[in-house]
Amino acid sequence: MTSPRPALAVAMIGHAFMGAAHSQAWRSAPRFFDLALDPVMRVAVGRDADRAAAAADRLGWAESAADWRAVVARDDIDLVDVCTPGDTHAEIAIAALAAGKHVLCEKPLANTVAEAEEMAAAAETAAARGVRSMVGFTYRRVPAIALARRLVAEGRIGEIRHVRAHYLQDWIADPEAPLTWRLDKQLAGSGALGDIGAHIIDLTQYLTGDRVREVSGQLETFVKERPLVAVGAGLSGTATAERGPVTVDDAAVFIARFAGGALGVFEATRFATGRKNSIRIELNGSAGSLAFDFEDMNVLELYDADEPAETAGFRRILVTEPGHPYVDAWWPAGHGLGYEHGFTHQVVDLVTAIAEDTDPAPTFADGLQVQRVLAAVETSSDTRTWQEVPT
């Protein structure tokens, strides 16, 4: 059946883990939300033609291709979704924007500040022509996080004094885990700092409505060499007998001060044995506190300092009511959402912004700000000094 809504033809470049998550989002968004444009999953792109064809068939794309440049140049493509490793983000996104395509780019925005600056400049130029861009910090779209942002903006917890954030994983705690592209600085830019630390930097800046102003941090690589991966293998691919150097960090810790005066404590690691995807954010303000734990992602904890001491305590809010952000399009109250829904909400917000001819958030400029924080932490670790984050 032909949709009565104008089509928005999408090309997705990259089809692995993030490609699968993005594909589900493009499929589900127009089926659960009343969008002004109809996303059409036109083509999935990968370096290997056979693997791209298999992925396109599995994930629901109409066709596949192996040359992203040719796809970006096509007149029947409206939006380019970049799901590739970080070393290719800048080239693909800038080319797509120059070709008049809207762009969704996975995080972190780039591998270096210089690349991110070029991307932000290209996005600003494109926006003047009505071409929109967004960086994919999907945890912003978890309903409990979006509700927390609303409460902070309403002044519910007062002036923010403390920001506490960690992102803990253990997927390379085994020293024999293979040397994948995520452990190669040339491809990934950085390790735990950029891959997962970028998320909590963005989340805390989003929640507080404030910017990290200065940082002092340390990075550590616990396992310096790992088995090489067989050609064509993915994240859990077959290891070989040869070993190669790990050129990124395994863990990052840093303290920060926000422009508004709040103190921040951050930790990102892939060596927290037993933790698979643990994200926890806590904000302490002059009038209360908020706490979120991704392992209980449909819940937000709120402490109201105005309540009498006899009954005061953290209140557990089940964020599944129709009045909560994004929730009314899904299931009856009490029926929780999952990891994949954040990607769907990302598509909804992006498509809505394109239809309304407004800039979606987070912008490439927001992605650049996160990149500057990452760079400042890395420099701080190298020099053992406090580093100011440029604005």
Q: How far apart are the first and last CA of the chain?
A: 49
What is the arithmetic mean of pLDDT over 119-137? 98
What is the arithmetic mean of pLDDT over 309-330? 97
Residue 232 has pLDDT above 60, yes or no: no
What is the arithmetic mean of pLDDT over 117-144? 98
Instruction: Return the pLDDT at 221.
Output: 98
Instruction: Return the pLDDT at 233.
Output: 47
Instruction: Return the pLDDT at 277.
Output: 97
Give the start-to-end residue ranges of the domains of the chain: 7-139, 141-362+368-388
% of the chain at pLDDT higher than 70: 97
What is the arithmetic mean of pLDDT over 289-306? 97
- State the pLDDT confidence band at 342, using cuts at 50, 70 and 90: very high
What is the arithmetic mean of pLDDT over 253-282? 98
What is the arithmetic mean of pLDDT over 361-378? 98
Residue among 360, 302, 342, 370 nearest 154 (CA): 302
141-362+368-388 CATH, one of 3.40.50.1820, 3.40.50.2300, 3.30.360.10, 3.30.420.40: 3.30.360.10
Q: What is the mean pLDDT of the chain?
A: 96
Instruction: Return the pLDDT at 133.
Output: 98
What is the arithmetic mean of pLDDT over 159-179? 96
Helices (H), 278-363: 339-356
Residue 236 has pLDDT above 80, yes or no: no
Instruction: Return the pLDDT at 240.
Output: 75
Question: Which neighbouring-strand residues pair with 227?
Answer: 243
Angle (CA) 161 141 343, round 5°: 145
Please give the Cα distance from 176 to 227 (Å, whole number).
6
Q: Is 12 helix (H, G, I), strand (E, B) or coil?
A: strand
Residue 170 has pLDDT above 60, yes or no: yes
pTM attached to this predicted model: 0.95
The contacts of residue 302 (CB under 8 Å, 6+ apart) are: 151, 156, 157, 288, 289, 290, 314, 315, 317
What is the arithmetic mean of pLDDT over 189-215? 97
> Does domain 7-139 match CATH 3.40.50.720?
yes
| pLDDT, tens digit (0-9, with 9 covering 90-100), for 380-391 | 999 999 999 998
Phi, psi dihedrals of residue 268, rounded to the nearest 5°:
-135, 125
Residue 379 has pLDDT above 90, yes or no: yes
- State the pLDDT confidence band at 238, using cuts at 50, 70 and 90: low
What is the arithmetic mean of pLDDT over 352-358? 98
